[in-house]
Amino acid sequence: MSRALLRSVHLETQQKVDRWVAGILIVFVALAPIIMRVKAFLFISPVLYPGAMGTGGKGDVFNYYKYVFLLVVTVVVAAFFLYKMTKGRYEIRPGYINPPLAVAFVLFLASGLAAPYMFLALGGDPSRFEGTLTYLCYFALFLIAANTEYTDRRVELLMYGLAVPVVVNVLISLMYFYGHDMFQIPWFRALIVPPGPGSEHTTGYLVTSLANPNYLSGFAAVTTALFWARAMWDGGRWSRWVVDVVLAVISFAAVLASTSTSGFATLVGILVVLAVAGLRLRPRRGWLGFAVPLVAFVGVFAVMSPHNPAVWENTIGTFVNLGGLEQRGAPGASGLLEAGYPRAVAAEQGASPMKAGSAQAAGGEAAAGQPAGGPKPNAPDGIYLPPAETGAGSGRLYIWKWAVSMIADSPWLGHGMDTFMFYFPQDDPAKNSNLHDYNIIVDKPHNMYLAWAFGAGVPALVALLALFALHAWRMVATLWRRILPGQAVRLLVPLFAAWVAWLVQGLVNDSVIGLSGVVWVLFGAAVSILFRYRPRTEPVKGGKR
């Protein structure tokens, strides 16, 4: 067989594999955020501690099957990719992503294997599953997505795949916002709760398929940014432009329905990014694609704000009052509270959802003054609790201070991913004055970057930041020079806007499979498009091409 013919056969094999991989990734993007199902299991805790942190029967609704889906998709896609490398003689593209990604992969793996609670670190907290294996899957999907050739139509389908979780979460969150719980609908409840003994005792409410209103806020900010950018740069049919605008607007409605500040604050920054990009890149739809969604956002806000004051308090009111990130009007700390399946409850939502138990009563007693002779114990373990209050950023600043201190204890390889709950001083009396409830179990740092440094070490965090910085530099430099054809720009700008939104919301939110897994795939697709136009985007010595 001639060399040219052999090369043609290899190229055909690569193209066939790319079609399969692209299709699987589109399905992953569409389904990963919305998978929900009750799963009960036995958890063996590494510590002797009562309640949610102890050994016993546990359960999950939102993340267990997402985790299983992530593992299955990663294995299947990796098998296709290995076939592409062996039978199709494909070689991984050299580029700016490889060195930092390789370093991050090695450090995350080493951290998991060296963690004191190794098995917990590998699999993750049994209510979150953000352990080492999850991150190795993220990295693998990113690398494969970056080394997959996409047609323009497949990239668009990848983005429009997000329409499925957008519509599902908008329906769930808006129904709850207006007093209708989808979990009480029999057929919908049957999708989540498997039949069997005890299923009738599973009670609660449903706010989002992502487990927590904060995660919904971050997810909706990402999708708002993506479809808003598409509305600006999509030069296709007007019917498709209308779809982009509608998806951006209903995503914004989900941001408001979450009554969480993080998503709204992210969109304030994205507004500036899109405005600057619009001035430089001259969107295909002109400023119509920027202004129409923005006016619609104002209309949605005007409709939803009077119904629940928390909408104002956690959006514009936060900036007007300089109130940090308090979320006083948000729903409970978990989207669905299932009876019989205890879970760690994090300090997510400010004062209103917290239990008015002994700690809160103790705060009132302390405020009234203590009797002569010294403080009076007012907690079950005989300690004195300060008044029940919510600290800056809904207690985030308090958690971050402890997180930084714990990172300093093990800076090189960290403590193990998703083991935060077992290192945080859960018996600290200051929890009552910062998280409004001494009984709350703090299970995550509420900052994606601190979670990486705590779990995998500072060098791993630096490796990921280097990866992000290199991509941001390449993307901004390429777009700013206006050297790409319009077709590439209309694909890259929405992907870049969504990616930036994810990075920004991560400053006050944690990573979650239903969002992070999707963004790593979109991130890889953006890198692939840049690779496609490498002759135009590679820097040239001497500054000339």
pLDDT tens-place string over residues 431-487: 888 998 888 899 999 999 999 999 999 999 999 999 999 999 999 999 888 888 888
What pLDDT was estimated at residue 381? 58
pLDDT interval class at 50 (50, 70, 90): confident
Rg (CA), the chain: 24
Nearest to 419 by CA among 463, 454, 459: 454
Angle between the N-to-C axes of helices 288-304 and 213-233, in degrees from 0 to 180, rounded to the nearest 10: 150
Q: Are 182 and 188 in contact (CB under 8 A)?
A: yes
pLDDT tens-place string over residues 392-405: 888 999 999 999 99
CA 387 vs CA 365, 370, 425: distances in Å: 8, 12, 19
Q: Tell me the pTM.
A: 0.88
In three-state form (DSSP H/G/I as H, E/B as E, the rest C), the secondary structure along 396-463 is HHHHHHHHHHHHHHCCCCCCCCCCHHHCCCCCCCCHHHHHCCCCCCCCCCCCHHHHHHHHHCHHHHHH
Angle between the N-to-C axes of helices 152-160 and 3-31, in degrees from 0 to 180, rounded to the nearest 10: 20
pLDDT tens-place string over residues 89-104: 999 999 999 999 999 9
The residue length of the chain stands at 545
Which residues, in sequence order, are CB contacts of 231 under 8 Å at separation 6+? 241, 244, 245, 248, 285, 289, 290, 292, 293
Sign of CA dihedral 377, 378, 383, 384: negative
What pLDDT was estimated at residue 374? 41
Mean pLDDT of 210-229: 96
Mean pLDDT of 224-250: 92
Mean pLDDT of 204-233: 95
Helix (H, G, I), strand (E, B) or coil at 508: coil
What are 221's two structure tokens?
């900010």
pLDDT at 357 over 50: no
175-182: long-range contacts, CB 8 A cutoff, minimum separation 24? 176/205, 176/206, 176/207, 176/257, 176/331, 177/257, 177/304, 177/307, 177/308, 178/307, 181/205, 181/206, 182/206
What pLDDT was estimated at residue 265? 94
What pLDDT was estimated at residue 285? 67
Which residues, in sequence order, are CB contacts of 539 under 8 Å at separation 6+? none
Which element (helix H / strand E) includes 40? strand 39-43
Domains in the chain: boundaries: 3-328+335-365+386-533
pLDDT at 337 over 50: no
What pLDDT was estimated at residue 322? 55
What pLDDT was estimated at residue 44? 84
pLDDT tens-place string over residues 239-269: 999 999 999 999 999 999 999 999 999 999 9
Q: Are 52 and 441 in contact (CB under 8 A)?
A: yes
Which residues, in sequence order, are CB contacts of 382 under 8 Å at separation 6+? none
pLDDT interval class at 348 (50, 70, 90): very low
